Structure 1
């Protein structure tokens, strides 16, 4: 059921800030035992200008946020050849290093920079690796439909203050969902864009969202995620089509919420 948020959300940037509510703390994964089962999450180094987080959903496909594929200052597309995926990176060393060959984002996604650009239900991208990662110790994750409000999820992410190893937050709440955007009480920070959001069920661990933005609700930081139900099937179809929509990201139009404008979920997104 759709849940109206009914409260102002102040989007601060295309990443996130820590949440101080009563929820599970971040667990640094600094050893092999800590990171066991999470090796398919990795850091995406982007042209020496910064990084995001991504996760394997196939031996040659990395799921992340679309805004990670744009230069924040110039708004220009980043050449996929300048992106490197470092699977399971800990202590500055990865289990596998792969260059990115191609990238695809939803045709409806348009990068506009700052916080407003992050408030898009199309802020998802697939990266095709130059060579697949085939290792018994790095198993791609399956994906599933987005969680309902009230559900509990987990997040594995890198961030600017923990850039050399990922951290796990085992439990955070889905506060609301509307128009393909999830509001979650998860602890994420700069560098966490594209981080996989996991559900834990009878079928095992599944990625149900990716981190897109940071926001503030009732004075508390929250994370904004994108539900995968709508954009991901189309991205998969396009990536399986020879020559389909690669060689550059789409710059199609998308309704962007500017300062003072409101969405139909009662949320107000403002540029930082």
Structure 2
């Protein structure tokens, strides 16, 4: 496993419209009473987040979708758009019984369908990047504890290596950042490459464990398309880029952020 890069940038609050421009489709998912995660639009009606956000941490039961609200571009307590949730689907391989294992991290993906589409100037759903490999520079936008009223960005962190089918990143995350999008930015355009599933410590340093997208998104999209939903659900555009086939493994103790 590579060492954390010395050129990682610090986490910075996105408190103004200029700082948030291009990332308005990242939002806070308010879940039940006082719980939240981070999510991001990948179409006008579909939000990508972490599967474990949709389960009660004490009972392991799925939460009622009616208790969830997506607040796109929330900043200073005000959202660019707010929508309730029609339904949600989780990755078919996600298993709450395997929580806190690398297997659960890799499949810790969910899609949330909104009751109404978000069609607003300045809020553009993100496309999906096929994958990142060890050494690649990425960035993360998230909400988290003690900074839940505005998103924060770490403009540069790095892919440190693989943990079975999951990946280890040097990105700075905390509780509430679950589901936060990890971006690659080819040509300066942010594209989601993975999402935050857990935080950990490796070699005494904090790291983020993420669920890569790539082929993992297809089973979730299929679940939405198989039903008789109200809205059409266009697939997010996927740009296929070459990636390193080598896989490296490392042990970690981690928590759901």
TM-score past 0.5 threshold: yes
DSSP-derived class of the 2:190 partner: strand
Aligned length: 238
Unaligned 5+ segments in structure 1 are 8-18, 245-263
Contact 1:72 1:114 survives alignment (8 Å): no
For 1:267, the equivalent position in structure 2 comes to: 251
Unaligned 5+ segments in structure 2 are 230-247
For 1:162, the equivalent position in structure 2 comes to: 147
TM-score by length of 1: 0.81
Contact 1:20 1:220 survives alignment (8 Å): no
Alpha-carbon offset, residue 213 of structure 1: 0.2
DSSP-derived class of the 1:169 partner: strand
User: Per-residue CA shift, 1:137-176, capped at 9, x if unaligned?
Assistant: 1100000112000000000000011000000111001000
For residue 121 of structure 2, the aligned residue among 127, 136, 149 is 136
User: Per-residue CA shift, 1:176-195, capped at 9, x if unaligned?
Assistant: 02432110000110000000
Matched, 1:215 2:220: no
DSSP-derived class of the 2:52 partner: helix
For 1:98, the equivalent position in structure 2 comes to: 83
Give the Cα–Cα distance (whole angstroms) in 1 for the partners of residues 228 and 32 of structure 2: 24
CA, structure 1 residues 109+82, in 2 after alignment: closer, same or farther (shift >3 Å)? same
Alpha-carbon offset, residue 6 of structure 1: 9.6
Between 1:156-165 and 1:24-33, the stretch displaced more is: 24-33
User: Per-residue CA shift, 1:81-128, capped at 9, x if unaligned?
Assistant: 110000000111101010011101111111138634884210000000
Give the Cα–Cα distance (whole angstroms) in 2 for the partners of residues 163 and 114 of structure 1: 25
Higher helix share: 2
Contact 1:118 1:212 survives alignment (8 Å): no
Q: Which has the higher contact order (CA 8 A, sep 6+)?
A: 1
CA, structure 1 residues 93+215, in 2 after alignment: closer, same or farther (shift >3 Å)? same
Give the Cα–Cα distance (whole angstroms) in 2 for the partners of residues 58 and 206 of structure 1: 13
User: Per-residue CA shift, 1:190-222, capped at 9, x if unaligned?
Assistant: 000000000011372110000000011110000
For residue 145 of structure 1, the aligned residue among 127, 130, 134 is 130
For 2:156, the equivalent position in structure 1 comes to: 171
Give the Cα–Cα distance (whole angstroms) in 1 for the partners of residues 53 and 209 of structure 2: 15
Give the Cα–Cα distance (whole angstroms) in 1 for the partners of residues 137 and 254 of structure 2: 27
DSSP-derived class of the 1:188 partner: coil
TM-score by length of 2: 0.86
Contact 1:119 1:269 survives alignment (8 Å): no
Matched, 1:29 2:14: yes
Contact 2:162 2:250 survives alignment (8 Å): no
For 2:237, the equivalent position in structure 1 comes to: none
For residue 191 of structure 1, the aligned residue among 162, 173, 176 is 176
For 2:233, the equivalent position in structure 1 comes to: none
Between 1:213-222 and 1:199-208, the stretch displaced more is: 199-208
Matched, 1:238 2:223: yes
For 1:109, the equivalent position in structure 2 comes to: 94
